[in-house]
Amino acid sequence: MHALILFDLDGTLVDPAGAITGGISSALRSHGLPVPDDDALQAMVGPPLVHSLTALGGVPAARVQEVMATYRAGYVSTGMAQSRPYPGVARCVEALAAEGAVVAVATQKPEWLAEELLEAQGLRHLFASVHGSPRDEAAAVGGKEPIIRAALEHHGRHADGAVPGRAVMVGDRRHDVEGALANGLSCIGVAWGFAAPGELEDAGASAVVQSAEELLEVLRGGL
């Protein structure tokens, strides 16, 4: 089995249950800005929101920070409580750790917020470490690649770039796959998240699983 297993957060470990898309819609309305269609809102889950608001939501660059502040305040006050772990995921992580794997989180969510969400959902104790974007989200550049790199370095990546033991990424969007491949890792995609049909396969995922039980079996097999 892999020595180090990195999990994405929203769409992989935790179902935001509309907290993200609904929160974005509410924040845009509160600032008198148009709300994009459902497909665009769904596509915002995963990538850095500070970029998605401009690229997918059409928010003027000068107004992104005020929208972000409104969204984050609502997410902290109510959104985290609406989220729920996906069925079987906690048992999967527990089993992996019990069998000797180091399990960590690598998310584009701000790291402080990822920590709070995991605590609120009773999941934080399952993970050896949590890696995410900086508090200043405008400073987050490079997509998922630097976050995965930071996780690898934290867990002993060698100076020559070699990965200690066997490591793998688990995620639900193409940027999870791309960030993993950029770090020399394979990525297992999960079908219960926010990827469009074929997105994970086209990005180069080594497998796409349909359930937490299937994920556990694939990880046990070392794919």
Q: 204 with 107, same domain?
A: yes
pLDDT at 194 over 80: yes
pLDDT value of position 62: 93
Q: What percent of the chain has pLDDT over 70?
A: 94
d(CA 143, CA 37): 24
122-139 average pLDDT score? 88
pLDDT value of position 143: 82
Q: 10 with 119, same domain?
A: yes
Candidates 8, 10, 15, 172; catalytic one: 8
| pLDDT top residue among 214 and 41 | 214
Whichever domain contains 170, its CATH number is: 3.40.50.1000
Q: CB-based contacts of 77: which residues, under 8 Å, 6+ apart?
A: none
Q: 61 with 96, same domain?
A: no
Model confidence at 163, pLDDT cuts 50, 70, 90, reads low
Q: State the DSSP string of 73-113.
A: HHIIIIIHHH-EEPTTHHHHHHHHHHTT-EEEEEEEEEHHH
Q: CB-based contacts of 10: which residues, under 8 Å, 6+ apart?
A: 16, 20, 45, 46, 83, 107, 109, 193, 194
Write out the residue range of the structural domain in which residue 61 sits: 19-82
β-strand pairing of 84-85 with 14-15: antiparallel
Question: Into how many domains does the chain fold?
Answer: 2
d(CA 57, CA 220): 40
pLDDT at 156 over 70: yes
Q: For residue 8, indicate whether it is catalytic.
A: yes
- Listed residues 38, 67, 82: the one ending a domain: 82
pLDDT at 141 over 70: no
Q: 121 with 169, same domain?
A: yes
